[in-house]
């Protein structure tokens, strides 16, 4: 089981020791593309990296995503496809959705409560 406080997974990260600014002053898609193509897309601990960044609100390129993309992942909502890899292979539980392709998960929007139409006596 993965514990967010345990960062031992970082030793296995493709980017460990890389000479690249993963937390730049300004994030952009060009920098993200470099991070993804050089490290993130082939990283064995990408899901742990992304989860860590989501849990701790990290800034920069984590798990092959931008900070703004992780903010979108943090919002509760139902989705037709994964916002990271755009796969439609999703597992839906009562409270979460999980992408079967890349392993990303997010909280679902709670279903609206059904009010009883029976009069209260």
Residue pair 103/54 in contact by the 8 Å Cβ criterion:
no
Look at residue 42 in the predicted model and tell me its pLDDT: 95
The DSSP code sequence of 34-71 is HHHHHTGGG-TTHHHHHHHHHHHT--S-BTTB-HHHHH
What pLDDT is stored for residue 116 in this prediction? 46
Contact 118/109 with Cβ under 8 angstroms? no
pTM given for the model: 0.63
Q: The tokens of 3 are what?
A: 């514990």
The tens digit of pLDDT for each residue in 51-98 reads 889 888 899 999 999 999 988 877 766 778 887 788 888 888 777 888
pLDDT tens profile 7-54? 899 999 999 999 999 999 999 999 999 999 999 999 999 988 988 898
Give residue 111's pLDDT. 55
Compute the mean pLDDT over every residue in the chain, rounded to the nearest whole number: 83
C-alpha distances in angstroms, 68 versus 45, 86, 91, 114? Answer: 21, 16, 24, 34
Task: Look at residue 47 and give its three-state secondary structure.
Answer: helix
Residue 121 has pLDDT above 70, yes or no: no
pLDDT of residue 15: 95
Tell me the C-alpha distance between 7 and 59, whole Å.
17
């Amino acid at each position: 089981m993965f514990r967010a406080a345990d960062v031992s997974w970082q030793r296995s990260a493709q980017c460990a020791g890389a000479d690249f600014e993963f937390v730049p002053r300004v994030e952009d898609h060009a920098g993200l593309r470099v991070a993804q193509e050089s490290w993130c897309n082939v990283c064995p601990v990408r899901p742990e990296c992304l989860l860590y960044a989501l849990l701790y609100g990290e800034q920069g390129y984590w798990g092959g995503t931008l900070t703004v993309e992780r903010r979108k992942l943090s919002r509760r909502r139902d989705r037709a496809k994964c916002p990271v890899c755009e796969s439609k292979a999703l597992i839906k539980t009562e409270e979460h959705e999980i992408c079967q392709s890349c392993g990303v998960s997010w909280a679902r929007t709670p279903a609206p409560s059904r009010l009883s139409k029976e009069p209260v006596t």
